[in-house]
Amino acid sequence: MDHTKAYFSASQIDGRLPKTTQVYELIRAAIISMRLPPGEAIVEKDICQQLGISRTPLREAVLQLVTENLVVVKPGGGTFVNRIIIRQVLDGQITRDTLEMRLVRLAARNFPVRFVKDFEVALFRQAGAAEREDVDEFFDLDNEFHHLICICSGFPNCWRTIHGATGQLDRVRRHAFPTEKNFLEVYDEHKLMFESIRRNDEEGAAVVFQKQLDSTFGTIEIIRSLSPELFSDDEKVAVSDIR
């Protein structure tokens, strides 16, 4: 069965915006959520037909996904969703632990009061998604919250670096939510982080964020144990290598 037909439609494309970026985000989201699981074929003809686009924006989007190792082009022909590569999961973790941690501190140091309402709305929406245990919505809102912190730091373009480096890590984090069901815990951490940022408390915000980062190590090991078929065994590397 060709699963791509179930996940994309022309209504997902806004004709006023660049198509390549939209197609990239749509396919990336499907890969992160495992709706397009490892090994699934990226069928160019079907995706173009469903989204109502030409092959050029799709091919450009796929090239970007190949660069991020979320998609692989096999020598014998065909483009497929890649398996999770544990070293690249840890690459993403290091990016968050260094660059994003720095942005959390800067957001607290430079917090613009005009963003209070944005954070309040973001947390309100997170609370609703947590209560419903809506995995896709909560995960999207989780990333939006961290993107908002990046904007408040004064260096919004850094989010591109984080976003591009954490695709493999995001697959693990997203896959863990139905297993760990820690929606309210993550929401409470975000609430504490915002309160610290709002008070210009760099250390307080950093402590909460570090707690989130450290919990990810356990998440990686749990998902790796429960779903080994999702991971590539090409290279042996342990989470303990970067702890």
For the stretch 36-45, pLDDT in tens is: 999 999 999 9
Region 2-6 average pLDDT: 49
- Both 41 and 104 in a single domain? no
Region 29-56 average pLDDT: 93
CATH number at residue 218: 1.20.120.530
Predicted confidence (pLDDT) per residue in 214-241, tens digit: 999 988 988 888 889 999 876 677 777 7
Averaged pLDDT score across all residues of the chain: 92
For the chain, percent of residues with pLDDT exceeding 70: 96
Q: Is the pLDDT of residue 80 over 70?
A: yes
Give the per-residue pLDDT at 6.
Answer: 57
Give the per-residue pLDDT at 3.
Answer: 47
Residue 170: which domain range? 86-241
Distance CA 125, CA 117 (A): 12
Residue 187 — very low, low, confident or very high, per pLDDT cuts 50/70/90?
very high
Predicted confidence (pLDDT) per residue in 199-212, tens digit: 999 999 999 999 99
- Both 33 and 127 in a single domain? no
Residue 4 — very low, low, confident or very high, per pLDDT cuts 50/70/90?
very low
- Both 145 and 232 in a single domain? yes
- Both 160 and 195 in a single domain? yes
Predicted confidence (pLDDT) per residue in 106-153, tens digit: 999 999 999 999 999 999 999 999 999 999 999 999 999 999 999 999
**71 forms bridges with which residues in the sheet?**
81
Give the per-residue pLDDT at 2.
Answer: 47
- Both 41 and 157 in a single domain? no
Evaluated on CA atoms 180, 184, 190, 192, the torsion sign reads: negative
Predicted confidence (pLDDT) per residue in 54-72, tens digit: 999 999 999 999 999 999 9
Give the per-residue pLDDT at 237.
Answer: 73
CATH number at residue 46: 1.10.10.10
What's the pTM value of the predicted model, to 2 decimals?
0.89
Give the per-residue pLDDT at 40.
Answer: 94
What's the number of domains the chain is made of? 2
- Both 35 and 103 in a single domain? no
